[in-house]
């Protein structure tokens, strides 16, 4: 048993203390690091604002600084009182504050939830109390799998067979069955069974395969098939994941590994539960579908912004699966990339719901509805199939009114989500690109093959985000900073040369070496995400010569040319260089009162682009965001 | 004209039956104010803090309402939060406790009889909702409390507070609900149809019964002001807006 498991269960008070410590804690900690120069600037502002309406706001900001610094003060006093108070108080110097900010970022990283912890908290919050109690001892992946089994019927559903399917089956199987029935007495049990099977006109659709291997696993364990679903839930255990890992280990070719990711792989459902539990956010459409199905089995909600509705932050799909989850996965991606453990090309894009994609809108429609999870799963899949069939065309061009995500985000209002199902499907057909046909190619046997996309791959470009990104780049080009010189990465700390690595120096008395190493990896990862390409080495050139001959290489984040390749981090990177260059040019730039004020200005400006691009706004819970903003502060105060 | 109810939730009931919510109504010739504060349950003086915050905001809004109607959102928020903190600090000093022990959320509605304008101010998880002319509208959205609730003693609370000025004449009724109450009025984020009907018919007593019938662990409070009645009595000169 680990030490962690031996700790006493937290009381309500303890939990609240922890909540307080994590809630916006990073932003609050760094804003609390205020140096004497900053407080003096604020006092000067207060003096200048005498008799003006802004006086009260500045006074409030000064009080916030006192609160953050822990300086006791009286309100409603003269300006002189506050000047004397500052004069006699012990306030840090700017250099100490810089180190303090690195320490604050480290401490925030130290208590940061891992993706696994994040998923556990989410599952705990969303689970029904009876399931939470019954599956308490189970691993997280097993709990998620059980949820899919219990509420999603293994992500399968029964549907009526189409006339075409019926005809094809009749032609084959029915002839045999009929023949057998004729030779058998009508009242035997076997005959009755076969007759009822013959009459059955439904077919089982598996959105993710997995039911068969689960039942087979239980059969091997019990020596018989489970009698009912309760028994299946009671008997399934972590061994099913071991079996899955064996299959993974045996997949020695690229083709087999690719097959493993497909929803029709026998272990697809087990893989989905495992990846969700690990917090491994893949960017492909198969996993994205899995996220929506996860939201359905856990009865998550969607906030449409309707005037009389309220967001339920603890169950909201956008907030929990696309925003906070992204933040967690970004951290994971950056550190994994440093350890070369990440999957290539798997950088979380930061995109939320794709409002241009009709299939995602179908999922949102049913997530907003009051149907049971099983009904939501079945009806959403059926509607997607119907729309695909209705719109499939090898000749017709796409119906897409505009490329702008904004247009589609505005379309999906509460009133549209309240439309009856048929009308909603019709609305999608009329307004969205629902044609999955790509092109016709000639197969090996010379026959034509129609290539198709999956429904979730349609309209995957991020045109609005790309426009926002391009707008930042064009502003960067208008500055004195050549785009080839935007390679300095993080500025507050020297992370490009191992021997000069001074994070440890900043952290001072911190002892946990493993965590410090992980933190170092994260900072280095962010440094490289920001496009650092400079390798420090002794140069034969003078500083002046080096300045004249900048590297003729543009970092990847600044040379994106396709709308589908834009990511939130690329947009932030471009903004970072633009912001620094613009501020540097502007000699009369705003005199920020410390990092807190600068952070406000940074947030305000970057959020214009992030919101326009439909990415989540600057988040003080996101270490990447805070580190980049802090680096800007260090750059401009250099 | 004003209807209010406030009860301890079952969780508090089992413990010490103390309701940590506070509601207040005050008016003068020019302004009417309703306020609700929800004490943070882990704080030892939450009830006192909620009452003090309620009194502080209501008092200043009634006395200086005209100023707030002219202020922009940032200034209103800064002014009100400073004032609350000032009053809480005084109280904390008197009682020898840390000011954080008096933490609460706060939400207030100020109606200006002269102009027919309405100021809604909110910090934390309470909801301000208006109903009239066949529709309901959330005027201030409750803030996210999954990682802890923003309250009157939070440093930089102003970042999380909301202040909006709207036309009071567009609505028949405006109400403030604590999170304990609005969670019972909503189903998966959508306003319950029965509640919607009650609000549109201004049936506050029925709403109270509806909420009381449900089991609630948290304290639940609701204070509403009938704007139609205010207007009928010609207390304010707002114009009726149709549609």
CATH number for the domain that contains residue B164: 3.60.40.10
pLDDT at B16: 56
Instruction: Classify the complex by whether its ipTM is higher than 0.85, answering yes or no.
Output: yes
Whether residue A626 sits in one domain with residue A514: yes
A500 pLDDT tier (thresholds 50, 70, 90): very low
Both A454 and A477 in one domain: the answer is no
What was the pLDDT predicted at A613? Answer: 86
Q: Is the pLDDT of residue A175 over 80?
A: no
pLDDT of residue A485: 83
Residue B191 belongs to some domain of the structure:
yes
Compute the average pLDDT of residues A336-344.
55
State the Cα–Cα distance between residues B8 and B17, nearest whole angstrom.
6
- What percent of chain A shows pLDDT beyond 90? 24
Average pLDDT on A378-390 reads: 93
Residue A398 forms part of a structural domain: yes
Residue B155 placed within a domain:
yes
Tokens found for residue A310: 């309220």
- pLDDT at position B235: 56
Asked if residue A515 and residue A407 are part of one domain, the reply reads no
Chain B contact probe: residue of A308, A316, A321, A415 with most B CBs at under 10 A: A308
Under an 8 A CB cutoff, do B82 and A23 touch? no
Q: Is B193 on the interface with A (CB under 8 A)?
A: no
Interchain contact, B141 vs A310, CB within 8 Å: yes
Q: What residue has token string 């409070």?
A: B221
The domain containing residue B164 runs over which residues?
2-228
**B29, part of any domain:** yes
pLDDT confidence bin for A394, thresholds 50/70/90: confident
Q: Are B136 and B130 in contact (CB under 8 A)?
A: yes
DSSP three-state, residue A69: helix
- What pLDDT score does B80 carry? 94
Report if residue B240 sits inside a domain. Answer: no
Mean local confidence (pLDDT), A418-437: 89
Q: Which residues of B touch A60 (CB under 8 A)?
A: 78-79, 81-82, 158
Do A608 and A499 belong together in one domain? yes
Same domain, A503 and A440: no
Q: What's the pLDDT at A391?
A: 86
Q: List the single residue in A57, A76, A301 with the smallest CB-CB distance to B86.
A: A76
Q: Which residues make beta-bridge pairs with B5?
A: B222
Residue A388 domain-assigned? yes
Q: Are strands B186-187 and A437-442 parallel, antiparallel or unpaired?
A: unpaired
Is A3 domain-assigned?
no
- Answer positive or negative: Cα dihedral of A190, A196, A199, A202: negative
Q: Please say whether the dihedral angle defined by the alpha carbons of residues A482, A483, A484 and A489, taken in this order, is positive or negative.
A: positive
Helix (H, G, I), strand (E, B) or coil at B33: strand
Number of domains, chain B: 1
- pLDDT of A246 over the 60 cut: yes
Read off the pLDDT of each residue in A150-164 and give the average, rounded to a whole number: 82
Q: Do A310 and B135 touch (CB under 8 A)?
A: no
Q: What is the mean pLDDT of residues A375-381?
A: 95
pLDDT tens digits for range A580-621 = 888 877 655 555 667 777 888 899 999 999 988 888 888 877
Does residue A172 sit within a domain?
no
Instruction: Judge contact between B26 and B94, C-beta under 8 A.
Output: no
CA distance A47 to A60: 14
Query: Considering only alpha carbons, which residue of chain B is nearest residue A12?
Result: B42
For Cα atoms B132, B133, B139, give the angle at the middle one, nearest 5 degrees: 45
The pLDDT, as a whole number, for residue A12 is 30
Q: What are phi and psi of B111, to 5 degrees?
A: -110, 130
**Which of A63, A307, A309 shows the shortest C-beta gap to B82?**
A63
Closest chain B residue to A11, measured at CA? B42
Q: Is the pLDDT of residue A336 over 80?
A: no
Residue A568 touches chain B, beta carbons under 8 Å: no
- A496 and A377 both lie in a single domain: no
- Which pLDDT score is estimated for B41? 84
Give the residue on A whose Cα is nearest the Cα of B86: A75
pLDDT at A399: 58
Model pLDDT, residue A584: 76
Q: Is the CB of A16 inside 8 Å of chain B's CB atoms?
A: yes
Name the burial class of residue A481, with classes exposed (0-12), middle (13-18) and buried (19+) by CB atoms within 10 angstroms of its CB.
middle
Q: Are residues A511 and A493 in the same domain?
A: yes
Query: A533 pLDDT exceeds 60?
Result: no
For residues A486 and A567, membership in a common domain is answered with: yes
Minimal Cβ distance to B189: which of A23, A31, A301:
A301
pLDDT at residue A41 greater than cutoff 50: yes
C-alpha distance from residue A431 to each of A291, A361, A398 (Å): 25, 12, 10
* Cβ atoms of B160 and B150 closer than 8 Å: yes
Of the residues A66, A91, A116, the one at which a domain ends: A91
Q: Does A498 touch chain B (CB under 8 A)?
A: no
Same domain, A451 and A507: no
Report yes or no on A237 lying in a domain: no
Q: Is A92 helix (H, G, I), strand (E, B) or coil?
A: strand
The number of domains in chain A is: 3
**Close Cβ partners of A549 (under 8 Å, ≥ 6 residues apart):** A541
A139-151: buried (b, 16+ CB within 10 Å) or exposed (e) per residue? bbbbbbbbbbbbb
| Other C-beta atoms lying within 10 Å of the C-beta of residue B143 | 19
**Highest-confidence segment of A445-454, A490-499, B4-13, B148-157:** B148-157
Q: Residue A178: its pLDDT value, please?
A: 66
Range of the domain at A523: 463-536+548-636
List, in sequence order, every residue forming a beta bridge with A449; answer none if it has no partner.
Answer: A441
Mark yes or no for CB contact A63/B85 under 8 Å.
yes
Tell whether B234 is covered by a domain: no
- Beta-carbon contacts of B45 under 8 Å, excluding residues fewer than 6 positions away, are B95, B97, B101, B102
List all residues 6 or more positions away from A505 whose beta carbon is below 8 Å from its beta carbon: none
Helix (H) or strand (E) holding B125: none
Position B242 in a domain? no
Q: Is A556 helix (H, G, I), strand (E, B) or coil?
A: helix
- For chain A, say whether B155 makes contact (Cβ under 8 Å): yes
Phi-psi region of B234 (alpha: psi -120 to 50; beta: other; left: phi over 0): left
DSSP per-residue codes, A558-589: G---SGGG--HHHHHHHHHHHHHHHHHH-TT-
Cβ-nearest to B138 among A22, A31, A310: A310
A311 in any annotated domain: no
A597 to chain B, closest Cα gap in Å: 12
Closest CA to A46 of A35, A61, A31: A61
**Does residue A615 lie within any of the structural domains?**
yes
A218's enclosing H/E stretch is helix A211-222
Sign of CA dihedral A314, A320, A323, A326: positive
Option in A125, A310, A314 nearest B186 (CB): A310
Handedness of CA A185, A189, A194, A197 (dihedral sign): positive
- The DSSP secondary-structure symbol of B113 reads T
- Residues of chain A positioned with their CB less than 8 A from the CB of B75: 53, 56-57
**In this structure, are A438 and A573 located in the same domain?**
no
What is the pLDDT, as a whole number, of residue A548?
52
Is A102 part of a structural domain of the chain? Answer: no
Q: Which chain A residues are closer than 8 Å to B129 by Cβ?
A: 308
Domain presence at residue B239: no
Q: Which residue has the higher pLDDT, A21 or B88?
A: B88
Nearest residue in chain B measured CA to CA from A122: B146
pLDDT at A299: 95
In a domain, B241, yes or no: no
User: Which residues in chain B come in under a pLDDT of 70?
Assistant: 11-17, 234-243
Distance CA A558, CA A577 (A): 10
Beta strands B31-39 and B127-132 are unpaired
Q: Which residue has the tokens 């900690």?
A: A29
Measured distance between the N- and C-terminal CA atoms of chain A, rounded to whole angstroms: 49
pLDDT at B146: 78
Q: For A106-136, how does the pLDDT look when each residue is reduced to its tens digit (9 = 90+)?
A: 877 777 667 788 889 899 999 999 999 999 9
For A606-631, give one letter per residue: b (16+ CB within 10 A) or e. Answer: beebbebbbbbebbbbbbbbbbbbbb
C-alpha Rg value of chain B to the nearest Å: 17
Looking at chain A, the whole-number percentage of residues with pLDDT higher than 70 is 78
Q: Which of A459, A488, A520 is the last residue of a domain?
A: A459
Question: Do the chains contact at B144 and A319, CB–CB below 8 Å?
Answer: yes
Answer whether A307 sits within 8 Å of B136, measured CB to CB: yes
Instruction: Tell me if residue A52 falls in helix, strand or coil.
Output: coil
The whole-number pLDDT of residue B157 equals 84
């Amino acid at each position: 048993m680990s030490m962690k498991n031996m700790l006493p269960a937290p009381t309500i008070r303890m939990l609240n203390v922890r909540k307080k410590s994590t809630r916006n804690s990073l932003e609050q900690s760094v804003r609390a690091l205020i140096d004497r120069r900053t407080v003096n600037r604020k006092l000067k502002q207060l003096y200048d604002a005498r008799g003006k309406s802004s006086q009260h706001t500045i006074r409030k900001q000064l009080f916030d600084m006192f609160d953050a610094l822990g300086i006791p003060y009286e309100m409603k006093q003269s300006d002189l009182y506050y000047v004397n108070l500052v004069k006699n108080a012990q306030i840090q110097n700017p250099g100490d504050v810089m180190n303090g900010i690195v320490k604050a970022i480290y401490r925030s990283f130290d208590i940061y939830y891992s993706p696994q912890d994040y998923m556990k908290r989410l599952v705990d919050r969303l689970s029904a109390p009876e399931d939470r109690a019954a599956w308490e001892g189970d691993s997280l992946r097993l709990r998620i799998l059980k949820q899919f089994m219990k509420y999603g019927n293994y992500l399968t559903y029964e549907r009526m067979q189409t006339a075409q399917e019926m005809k094809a089956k009749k032609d084959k199987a029915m002839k045999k069955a009929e023949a057998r029935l004729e030779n058998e007495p009508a009242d035997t049990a076997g005959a009755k069974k076969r007759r009822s099977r013959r009459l059955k006109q439904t077919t089982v659709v598996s959105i993710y395969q997995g039911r068969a291997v689960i039942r087979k696993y239980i059969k091997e364990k019990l020596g018989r098939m489970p009698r009912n679903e309760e028994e299946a839930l009671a008997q399934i255990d972590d061994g099913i994941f071991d079996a899955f890992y064996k299959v993974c280990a045996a997949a020695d070719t690229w083709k087999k590994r690719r097959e493993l990711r497909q929803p029709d792989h026998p272990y697809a459902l087990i893989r989905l539960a495992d990846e969700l539990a690990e917090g491994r956010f893949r960017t492909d459409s198969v996993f994205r579908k899995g996220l929506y199905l996860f939201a359905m089995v856990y009865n998550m909600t969607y906030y449409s912004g309707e005037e009389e509705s309220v967001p339920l932050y603890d169950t909201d799909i956008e907030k929990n699966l696309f925003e906070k989850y992204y933040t967690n996965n970004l951290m994971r991606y950056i550190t994994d990339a440093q350890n070369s453990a990440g999957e290539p090309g798997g950088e979380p894009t930061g995109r939320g719901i794709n409002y241009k994609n009709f299939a995602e809108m179908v999922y949102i429609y049913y997530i907003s509805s009051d149907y049971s999870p099983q009904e939501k799963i079945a009806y959403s899949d059926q509607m997607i199939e119907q729309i695909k069939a209705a719109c499939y065309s090898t000749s017709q061009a796409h119906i897409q009114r505009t490329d702008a995500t904004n247009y589609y985000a505005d379309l999906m209002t509460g009133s549209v989500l309240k439309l009856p199902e048929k009308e909603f499907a019709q609305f999608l057909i009329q307004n969205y690109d629902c044609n999955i046909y790509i092109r016709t190619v000639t197969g090996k046997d010379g026959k034509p093959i129609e290539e198709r996309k999956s429904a979730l791959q349609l309209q995957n470009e991020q045109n609005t985000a790309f426009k926002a990104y391009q707008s930042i780049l064009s502003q960067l080009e208008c500055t004195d900073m050549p785009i080839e010189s935007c390679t300095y990465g993080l500025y507050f700390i020297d992370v490009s040369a191992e021997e000069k690595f001074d994070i440890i120096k900043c952290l001072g008395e911190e002892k946990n070496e493993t965590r410090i190493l992980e933190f170092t990896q994260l900072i280095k990862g962010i440094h490289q995400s920001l496009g650092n390409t400079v390798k420090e080495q002794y140069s034969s050139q003078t500083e002046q010569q080096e300045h004249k001959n900048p590297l003729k290489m543009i970092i990847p984040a600044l040379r994106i040319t396709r709308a589908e390749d834009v990511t939130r981090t690329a947009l932030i990177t471009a903004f970072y260089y633009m912001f620094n260059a613009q501020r540097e040019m502007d000699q009369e730039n705003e005199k920020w009162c410390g990092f807190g004020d600068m952070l406000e200005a940074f947030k305000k400006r970057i959020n214009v682009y992030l919101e326009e691009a439909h990415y989540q706004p600057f988040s003080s819970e996101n270490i990447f965001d805070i580190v980049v903003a802090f680096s800007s502060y260090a750059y401009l105060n250099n | 004209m004003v209807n209010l109810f406030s009860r301890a939730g079952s969780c508090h009931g089992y413990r010490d039956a103390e309701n940590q919510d506070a509601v207040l109504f005050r008016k003068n010739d020019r302004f009417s104010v309703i306020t609700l504060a929800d004490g943070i349950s882990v704080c030892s003086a939450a009830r006192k803090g909620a009452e003090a915050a309620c009194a502080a905001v209501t008092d200043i809004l009634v006395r200086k309402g005209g100023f707030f109607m002219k202020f922009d959102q940032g200034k209103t928020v800064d002014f009100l939060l400073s004032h609350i903190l000032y009053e809480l600090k005084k109280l904390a000093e008197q009682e020898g406790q840390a000011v954080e022990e008096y933490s609460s959320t706060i939400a207030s509605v100020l109606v200006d009889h002269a102009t027919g304008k309405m100021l809604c101010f909110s910090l934390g998880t309470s909801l301000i909702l208006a109903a009239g002319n066949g529709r309901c509208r959330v005027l201030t959205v409750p803030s996210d409390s999954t990682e802890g609730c923003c309250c009157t003693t939070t440093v930089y609370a102003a970042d999380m507070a909301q202040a909006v000025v709207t036309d009071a004449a567009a609505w028949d009724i405006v109400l403030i609900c604590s999170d304990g109450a609005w969670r019972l009025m909503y189903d998966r984020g959508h306003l319950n149809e029965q509640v919607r009907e009650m609000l549109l018919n201004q049936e506050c007593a029925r709403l109270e019964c509806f909420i009381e019938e449900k089991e609630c662990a948290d304290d639940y409070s609701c204070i509403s002001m009938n704007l139609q009645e205010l207007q009928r009595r010609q207390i304010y000169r707002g114009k009726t807006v149709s549609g």
